[in-house]
Amino acid sequence: MFRSSQSTSQSIAPQLKATARAGSNIAFIKYWGVANPRINLPLNNSISMTLGALHTTTTVEWDAGGRLGADEVTIDGERVEGKKAERVTQHLDLIRHLAGDRRYRARVVSRNNFPMASGIASSASAFAALTVAAVAAIGLALDRTRLSAVARHGSGSASRSIFGGYVEWERGNDDATSVARQLFPAEHWNLRDVVVVVSTAEKAVSSQNGHTLALTSPFNAARIDSLYTALQEVRAAITLRDLNRLGPVIEQDALAMHAVMMTSKPSLLYWQPGTLEVLQAVRRWREQDGLPVYFTIDAGPNVHLICEPAFERELLRRLQTLSGVRSTLTSGPGDGAETVDQHLF
Ligand code: DP6
Does position 7 have pLDDT exceeding 60, yes or no? no
Q: pLDDT for 237-270, tens place per residue?
A: 999 999 999 999 999 999 999 999 999 999 999 9
Q: Give, as one character, the DSSP assignment of residue 254.
A: H
Quick check: CB of 121 below 6 Å from ligand 1? yes
How far is the centre of ligand 1, averaged over its atoms, from the C-alpha of 71 (Å)? 25
Which of 207, 231, 234, 303 is the best mutation target for the ligand 1 pocket, counting ligand atoms within 8 Å of the beta carbon and taking the most?
207
Number of the ligand 1 atom closest to the C-alpha atom of 152: 5
Q: pLDDT for 264-304, tens place per residue?
A: 999 999 999 999 999 999 999 999 999 999 999 999 999 99
Strand, helix or coil for residue 145: helix
CATH classification code of 192-331: 3.30.70.890
Quick check: CB of 122 below 6 Å from ligand 1? no
How far is the centre of ligand 1, averaged over its atoms, from the C-alpha of 65 (Å)? 36
Check residue 14 and give its pLDDT.
Answer: 59
Do 192-331 and 10-186 fall under one CATH topology? no
Quick check: CB of 33 below 6 Å from ligand 1? no
The answer to whether residues 187 and 9 touch, using CB atoms and an 8 Å cutoff, is no
CB atoms within 10 A of CB 90: 12
Percent of the chain with pLDDT over 70: 94
The answer to whether residues 246 and 234 touch, using CB atoms and an 8 Å cutoff, is yes
Q: In the chain, what are the domain boundaries?
A: 10-186, 192-331
Q: pLDDT for 194-216, tens place per residue?
A: 999 999 877 666 777 889 999 99
Q: pLDDT for 31-80, tens place per residue?
A: 999 999 999 999 999 999 999 999 999 999 999 888 999 999 999 999 99
- Based on C-alpha coordinates, what's the Rg of the chain? 20
Quick check: CB of 118 below 6 Å from ligand 1? no
How far is the centre of ligand 1, averaged over its atoms, from the C-alpha of 66 (Å)? 35
Q: Distance between CA 233 and CA 22 in Å, rounded?
A: 27
The full DSSP string for 168-195 is EE---SSTTT--EEEEE-GGG---EEEE
CATH classification code of 10-186: 3.30.230.10
Mean pLDDT to the nearest integer, 134-148: 96
Q: Distance between CA 43 and CA 257 in Å, rounded?
A: 12
The full DSSP string for 292-305 is --EEEE-SSS-EEE
Q: Which helix (H) or strand (E) holds 209?
A: helix 207-213
